[in-house]
Structure 1
Amino acid sequence: MYWPWKQNPWFETVLEAQRRAKRRLPPSVYAALVAGSERGKTPADNTDAFAELEFAPHVAGHQPERDLSTTVLGIPISLPVLISPTGVQAVHPDGEVAVARAAAARGTIMGLSSFASKPVEEVVEANPNTFFQMYWTGSKESMIQRMDRAREAGAKALIATLDWSFSVGRDWASPSIPDKMDLKAMVQFAPEGIIRPKWLMEWAKHGIPDLSVPNLQPPGGEAPTFFGAYGEWMQTPPPSWEDVAWLRKEWGGPFLLKGITRVDDAKRAVDIGANAISVSNHGGNNLDTTPATIRCLGPVADAVGDQLEVLLDGGVRRGGDVAKALALGARAVMIGRAYLWGLAANGQTGVENVLDLMRMGLDSAVLGLGHSSIGELGRADLWIPQGFERTLGAPKPAPRPRRAPARTSAGITAP
C-alpha cells in the first residue's frame, strides 16, 4: 500500500541527504558535522570553488560504455571515490561498521579514523580494503603499538593525517560536545533528544554512545574518550619531516600522507617515500582561509603526479566534482561530510545511496565529455578561469629583466 506522507528512503542528491540529516539529528550533533574553524570561509570555498570550473561537453560522438574504475595504492576500486576517515560517528549506532559495509558493497576503500567509535578489527571484517588513519599523537612506542594492531587486523595502508591544527578560534557553528555521556550530559542534552525522538529511540535500542575511541586503547588499559585523546594530541610535540619519514618506515606498507596544499610539501612527501598524498585542508577544520583544495590540486599534481598518487579531499558533493578533480590530476577523491549525511539519513543504505549518486554524476560527466574512461579526463575538458588555481609553496618565477629606457625625438623616455 502506498502512503503518500511516507518519505521515499532514496534521496536524489547529497543536498537532500544533508536536509534529512538535519531533520533527524539533534541540533548539536548536526552542527558538529558542518562546523568549521573561525569564520568558516574555507569549508564554503571548498564547495563553491567547484562551481567556478566549467565543463566543455561535446554534442555528438559520445561513448556507449564508460569505465569508472581505477586503483589506489594497488587496490582495484569500482569508482574513484574513497571514504575519508572521520572521528566518532555518533550520527548512527552502527557508525563506521555501517560505512565500511556500504563501501564494500559499492566496491571502494574504507578510511578508518584512529578516533573512530568502532575498533579496527570490526571495520576490517566489514571491509577488507580498509586504510587505517593515524595522527601524530602520544609516544613513538604507542604509535608503533597502534600500527601493529592495525596491521594485524588486516589494514591495507596507513593514512598519516597532518592537516589538523586545532584552531583555537572555533566560532563558526561549532557546538559544545560532552567528554562522555554521563548523567549530567544526558540531562543537559535531553531537550535535544526529545525533539528528535526517532534518533533517540534508535540509540536507546543500542545503548547510549560512550564517545570513547577504542583504536587508541593501550594494551591492558581503557579506551580514552574523544577529548582524552584530543588532550594527548595537544600535548604531543608536532612532528618534523624526519618524524614523518620514521612513521613511513615503521609502517612499512603503502603510505598516504593527508593534508598537502603546498608544492614544496608535496615534494617533501616524495622525498620521504610516501606512496600517495591527499590534497586536503581537513574539510575547513584546520587553518581558516586556507584555499579550497580544488584550487591547490592542479599545481600539486603537476609537480609530483608522476612520482606518487595524488588524491583530493574537500568539498566533493556530486559526481561532477569528482570529474573535475580527476581532470586536474587526481587519481581519486575522498569524501567526508557527504557520506556522514547519508549515514545519518538512512544508515548503511544511505551511504550506499551517496556513493551511487557519485557514480551516476561521474558517469554523466564522462559521457557528456565524450570519453570512454575516467583516465581520459584532462584539462581540455574544463574552462578554468584566470586566477582560479593557487600555487602555494613553489618558487616564484624570476622577474623579467626590464629593457633599458629609450629616448624619443621629443626627449621623453619610454619604457
Structure 2
Amino acid sequence: MTRPEWLPEWAENPWKQNPWFESVAVAQRRAQKRLPEPVYAALVAGSERGQTVSDNQRAFMELGVLPHVAGHHAERSMSRTVLGQEVSLPVLISPTGVQAVHPDGEVAVARAANARGTLMGLSNFASKSVEEVVEACPRTLFQMYWTGDRDVMVQRMERAHRAGAIGLIATLDWSFSMGRDWGSPEIPEKVDLKTMVRMAPKVATKPRWLYQFGRTGQLPDLTAPNLAPPGGEAPTFFGAYYEWMTTPPPSWEDVAWMRSTWAELSGTPFVLKGVGRVDDAKRAVDAGVDAISVSNHGGNNLDGTPAAIRLLYPISTAVGGQVEVLMDGGVRRGSDVVKALALGAKAVLIGRAYLWGLAANGQAGVENVLDILHGGIDSALLGLGVSSIDELEPGLLLIPEGFHRS
C-alpha cells in the first residue's frame, strides 16, 4: 500500500517524531531534548541573575492589542524594504557566534533565510566562513565586534566585501560578565579526543546529536574562520574572545571611523547594534550610521538593562526619521514582531528562536521558525484590521503606564 500524498512521511511511523513544530516554544523543547546540556545551556544563558533575559520576553506580554470583529482585509502584506533590500517579512537573522548545534551551522541558517526571502546576519565569531555563507545566501550582512587593531579590522572588512556582504553590523552591546547565577556552561577550547573523553558522560546521552555529526565525519567546529589572518589559521573561539577582551573599547570617533571605512570600501549600509539610550541613538546619527538596532545582546550584556522593546519607542521617535531602527531581544511570536513594528521598528532580528529551530531540525527547522513568525504576523494583521505592516502604529496597542524606558 502506497502512502497517500496528503499523509506526511513521518506519519507512516507513529513512533517517529514529526519534524515540524507549531511554535518557537516547541522548537526550544526539541532543542533541549536533542542537545547536550552544556550546549543547550550556552543558548539560553544570560548574564548574572538573568533579569534582562526574562524582561525581554515579559515586556511583550505586558503589551496588549485591540482586535476588530469585522471589516478585516482579505489580503495582507508584510513585505518591506530594509537596508535597501526587499524582504518578504520584517524578520532578519541576527548574527550569533559558533552555531555548533548542527553540523551545517550558519550555512543551514543562510539557506533558510534565502529560501524565506529575508536577510542573513553572520557573526565574525561564526563557525563557517563568510564566503560559504554568502554563497548560501547572497544577501548576507557581516557582523564585527571591535576587536584587534584598525589594520586587522580593515583586513576583515575587505574580506567581507570581497565575499559579497551587503552590509556591515558593528556589535557593541556586549560586556564580559563573570557571574551567572546558574553557572557558566562548559565550552571546551577545541573538540579533540581528550575533550571527547572528558565530556563523554554528558554527550553520550544525546545519541541523535552525535549521529548528526558522525554522518558528516566531522566534529563540532569551535574555531572562528572569519578572524583568521591572511594565510594563517583560524583562532579558537576563546582565542577570538581573548582578542576582544584585550582590545581597548571603542570611542564614538572609532565608530565614525568604522562607518566611513566601510562606506569607502563597500558603499553598503552600516548598522550599529546595541543602542539602548536616546542620547546614544543621536550620537549614532552624528557618526553617520545608516541604521541602529535597539538591543541588549539578548540579555548577555549588563544585567538589569530594560527589555529592548521598552526602549524602542523613545528611540524610534527621536531618530526614526533619520536612520532605520531595528530591534532584537525576546521575539518569539509573530505578534511580538507586530508590536515592535507598531512602536517604530523597521524590522526585528531573531537569535535564540532560529538557533532552537536549527538544533531541532537543521535548515528545515529554521525555515519552520520563520514560517511560524510569518503566520503569526499575518494573523495579527488580520485581527487588527490592517492590510499592511505599514499601517501599524502605537494606537493599535494597549500600552501600560510606565512601560517605555528612556
What TM-score comes out, normalization by structure 1 length?
0.93
Judge conservation of contact 1:31–1:173 (CA < 8 Å) in 2: no
Q: Are positions 1:164 and 2:179 aligned together?
A: no
Segments of structure 2 that go 5 or more residues without pairing to the other structure are 4-11
Q: Are positions 1:188 and 2:188 aligned together?
A: no
**1:304 CA drift (Å):** 0.3
Distance 1:9 1:142 in 2: 43
Q: How does 1:166-315 map to 2 (within 5 A)?
A: 166-206=176-216, 207-252=218-263, 253-315=268-330
- The corresponding residue for 1:337 is 352
- The corresponding residue for 1:138 is 148
Q: What amino acid does structure 2 have at the position aligned with 1:234?
A: M
Distance 1:80 1:282 in 2: 19
**1:128 CA drift (Å):** 0.5
Judge conservation of contact 1:36–1:173 (CA < 8 Å) in 2: no
Q: How does 1:15-414 map to 2 (within 5 A)?
A: 15-206=25-216, 207-252=218-263, 253-391=268-406
**1:173 CA drift (Å):** 4.8
Distance 2:380 2:106 in 1: 30
Judge conservation of contact 1:110–1:131 (CA < 8 Å) in 2: yes
Distance 1:74 1:317 in 2: 25
Judge conservation of contact 2:99–2:106 (CA < 8 Å) in 1: yes
Distance 2:178 2:247 in 1: 17
- The corresponding residue for 1:13 is 23
Per-residue CA deviation, residues 56-115 of structure 1 (Å, 9 max, x unaligned), is 111111010001000111100000000000000010000000000000000000000000
Distance 1:251 1:340 in 2: 29
Segments of structure 1 that go 5 or more residues without pairing to the other structure are 392-415
**1:171 CA drift (Å):** 3.4
**1:145 CA drift (Å):** 0.3
Judge conservation of contact 1:62–1:367 (CA < 8 Å) in 2: yes
SS of the residue aligned with 1:165?
coil
Q: What amino acid does structure 1 have at the position aligned with 2:340?
A: A
Distance 1:57 1:304 in 2: 29
Judge conservation of contact 1:34–1:173 (CA < 8 Å) in 2: no
Q: What amino acid does structure 2 have at the position aligned with 1:139?
A: D
Distance 1:185 1:238 in 2: 33
Judge conservation of contact 1:10–1:353 (CA < 8 Å) in 2: yes
Identity of aligned residues (%): 71
Judge conservation of contact 2:140–2:167 (CA < 8 Å) in 1: yes
Distance 1:210 1:15 in 2: 27
Distance 2:192 2:180 in 1: 25
**1:174 CA drift (Å):** 2.6
Q: What amino acid does structure 2 have at the position aligned with 1:28?
A: P
What TM-score comes out, normalization by structure 2 length?
0.95
Distance 1:157 1:170 in 2: 34
- The corresponding residue for 1:394 is none
Q: What amino acid does structure 1 have at the position aligned with 2:226?
A: N
Distance 2:198 2:58 in 1: 36
Distance 2:90 2:171 in 1: 20
Q: What amino acid does structure 2 have at the position aligned with 1:293?
A: A
Aligned residues: 391
Distance 1:199 1:14 in 2: 20
Distance 2:215 2:148 in 1: 35
Q: CA-atom RMSD, angstroms?
A: 0.8
Distance 1:177 1:366 in 2: 42
Judge conservation of contact 2:91–2:118 (CA < 8 Å) in 1: yes
SS of the residue aligned with 2:170?
strand
SS of the residue aligned with 2:326?
strand
Distance 1:101 1:221 in 2: 28
Distance 1:232 1:345 in 2: 32
Per-residue CA deviation, residues 272-317 of structure 1 (Å, 9 max, x unaligned), is 1100000000000010010000000000000000000000000000
**1:202 CA drift (Å):** 1.1
Judge conservation of contact 2:100–2:221 (CA < 8 Å) in 1: no
Q: What amino acid does structure 2 have at the position aligned with 1:153?
A: A
SS of the residue aligned with 1:277?
strand
**1:183 CA drift (Å):** 2.5
- The corresponding residue for 2:7 is none
SS of the residue aligned with 2:73?
coil
- 201-210 or 245-254: bigger deviation: 201-210
Residues 173 and 44 (structure 1 numbering): CA distance in 2 closer, same or farther, change over 3 Å?
A: farther
Per-residue CA deviation, residues 377-413 of structure 1 (Å, 9 max, x unaligned), is 001110100011101xxxxxxxxxxxxxxxxxxxxxx
Q: What amino acid does structure 1 have at the position aligned with 2:379?
A: S
Judge conservation of contact 1:102–1:349 (CA < 8 Å) in 2: yes
Distance 1:384 1:174 in 2: 36
Distance 1:19 1:61 in 2: 38
Distance 1:130 1:162 in 2: 19
Judge conservation of contact 2:291–2:323 (CA < 8 Å) in 1: yes
Per-residue CA deviation, residues 13-41 of structure 1 (Å, 9 max, x unaligned), is 00000000000000110000000010001
